[in-house]
Structure 1
């Protein structure tokens, strides 16, 4: 089940985030994630599996450039390979596409996850070494939105 984030999810979500550190996130990013939740909690989604929080993702729209964003997507390591990431990205895309002015969706990820986003049609636009932290490169990806589909 995918549902909106609420403040009572914070501890469990941060425990999952820490399980993904330092493999997928640099330890200093926990502060950035906390700031995101403080400022944009209404755009964050939780995914539950068997009534347990197993991950989440941010999903928001910027009017100034008609761009959607999927951000801070991560899952409990014990629940990978179940199709939950696919389900979450598809859910975020369906929400973003409700905005008729949407022109593209942007994902900022790393060399560890960019191939996952390629499966949805995202293409790599730029990279920057050690952007997130040592050994974690920025992979900026975009998905243009076809207005005719």
Structure 2
């Protein structure tokens, strides 16, 4: 059974294992320190979730309120051994639903060219691309999704 639950600070090592499983293809090694700092911030229990299966954290991701109309995906990732099994889609859809419940009209994210097609399949459109923006060989791809009004 797959469970979504709020992040707790004792989950940090597990989330870092998920990060490490995606390095260097999806994250540059230099990004790890930024993720560590992010996980240590007190508000993570309110804006970050982990995904568990069989008592193991297999994914994590957050949603930040950027302004009155916009939310942004932050640090979303799935254990590399579980890619293409629907976990990432479930995590993304849960965050989109959360943004709608918050009354947001748009969701943005910053990813790489390796994940761009995944998010395009969910309706996100490319807004900007910066070659090597996340490091050598990792373009920074900004994407946006306009949301229908929440019912």
| TM-score in terms of structure 1 length | 0.92
Residues in 2 aligned to 1:76 and 1:68: alpha-carbon distance in whole angstroms: 24
Q: How does 1:47-66 map to 2 (within 5 A)?
A: 47-63=51-67, 65-66=68-69
Q: Is 1:86–2:92 an aligned residue pair?
A: no
Given candidates 17, 20, 24, the residue that maps to 1:18 is 20
Do 2:60 and 2:76's aligned partners in 1 also have CA atoms closer than 8 Å?
yes
Could you say which residue in structure 2 is the equivalent of 1:107? 109
Q: 1:96: how far off?
A: 1.0
Q: Moved runs in structure 1, 4+ residues, more than 4 A?
A: none
Residues in 1 aligned to 2:14 and 2:102: alpha-carbon distance in whole angstroms: 31
Q: Is 1:29–2:34 an aligned residue pair?
A: no
Q: 1:66: how far off?
A: 2.1
Q: How does 1:131-142 map to 2 (within 5 A)?
A: 131-142=133-144
Could you say which residue in structure 1 is the equivalent of 2:125? 123
Q: 1:148: how far off?
A: 7.4
For the aligned residues, what is the CA RMSD?
1.5
In structure 2, stretches of 5+ residues that fail to align are: none
Could you say which residue in structure 1 is the equivalent of 2:71? 68
Q: 1:51: how far off?
A: 2.1
Cα separation, partners in 2 of 1:33 and 1:148, compared to 1, 3 Å: closer
In structure 1, stretches of 5+ residues that fail to align are: none
| TM-score in terms of structure 2 length | 0.91
Q: Deviations over 1:34-80 (max 9, x none)?
A: 222223412111011222111111112123x5211112111112212
Q: Is 1:95–2:98 an aligned residue pair?
A: yes
Q: Deviations over 1:6-27 (max 9, x none)?
A: 0111111112211211111011
